[in-house]
Amino acid sequence: MIREITAKTAITRTKIPVAKYVINPYIGCTFGCLYCYARFIGPFKYTGYKWGKDVLVKTNVAQLVEKELIKTKGDFFLSSICDPYQHMEKKYEMTRKIIQILTSHFRKAHIMTKSNLILRDIDLLKDLSVTLTITTDREDVRKILEPGAPSVEERFETLRKLKEAGIDVSVFVGPVIVMDAEHLAYMLSKYVDRVMLDALNYHRQVQMVYEKYGWTDWLTKDKFLEVVERFERVFGKGSVRY
């Protein structure tokens, strides 16, 4: 279910290292990633809706950004509790409108997404930075853990096109899920010089799924460190952050 709402505010402070402020144009996310923290620690938990199916669209978010921007000084992050380029964005263009406002005021923004829809806005990204999230090289794993998100192939194609367009793009491998780590690292090394890895922090979200498919060893710290080591073989120790 898609519900349009009128938000009271648009810009909030954040502790995310790359920015001082965060903007979330949507509450909920149709990508429906099973491991996502936003389903239970963000405002979505108060909606009573189903994660991956129901989304609240802040239809007035662009107007609020325009109004609140004058009170801020610093960079922006899109987004912390939803993917700013989830399916709804194709219709509502909330993220595009926000970027247009930020760039028209010469404000910097960092965008994180799994979506190839970001290519629609490639004309706006020249002075911004983009992080593409690629968590696995296995499409079977993607379909189970990230059921509504773009395919692995689509994400690599998006990465290639962003690089060719001269966009400042990085890759986030997080959370670390089931993969062929050395293969994924090698594939990513064709496009970027460094990557950031993050461990899966909320095991309860996926515990039963991992048990069903025999993936429980991927819930251990040792497995995460093994992935780090495999990436460091390809990129070098100084080029893998975690």
| 40: pLDDT strictly greater than 90 | no
In this structure, are residues 84 and 25 in contact, taking their beta carbons and an 8 Å threshold? yes
Last residue of a domain, one of 81, 112, 143: 112
What was the pLDDT predicted at 48? 87
Do 147 and 224 lie in a common domain?
yes
pLDDT tens digits, 211-241 = 999 999 999 999 999 999 999 999 999 999 9
pLDDT of residue 41 exceeding 90: no
* Domain end residue (candidates: 83, 112, 141): 112
Domain-ending residue, one of 55, 82, 112: 112
Q: Is the pLDDT of residue 46 over 90?
A: no
> 160: domain CATH number?
3.80.30.30
Q: Kindly state whether residues 87 and 191 are assigned to the same domain.
A: no
Quickly tell me which residue has 């801020």 as its tokens. Answer: 72
Average pLDDT of the chain, as a whole number: 97
42 pLDDT band, cuts 50/70/90, is confident
Q: For the segment 119-164, what is each residue's pLDDT rounded down to a tens digit?
A: 999 999 999 999 999 999 999 999 999 999 999 999 999 999 999 9
> Which amino acid is located at 169 in the chain?
V
Q: Are residues 103 and 119 in the same domain?
A: no
DSSP 154-208: HHHHHHHHHHHTT-EEEEEE-S--S--HHHHHHHHHTT-S-EEE-----GGGTHH
Alpha carbon distance 58, 27 (integer Å)? 8
Which tokens go with 88?
Answer: 């709804």
56, 118: one domain: no
Claim to verify: residue 149 and residue 96 sit in the same structural domain: no
Question: How many distinct structural domains can be found in the chain?
Answer: 2
Q: Which residue has the tokens 């926000």?
A: 98
Give the structural domain span for 28. Answer: 1-112
Phi-psi region of 166 (alpha: psi -120 to 50; beta: other; left: phi over 0): left
| Residues, the chain | 242
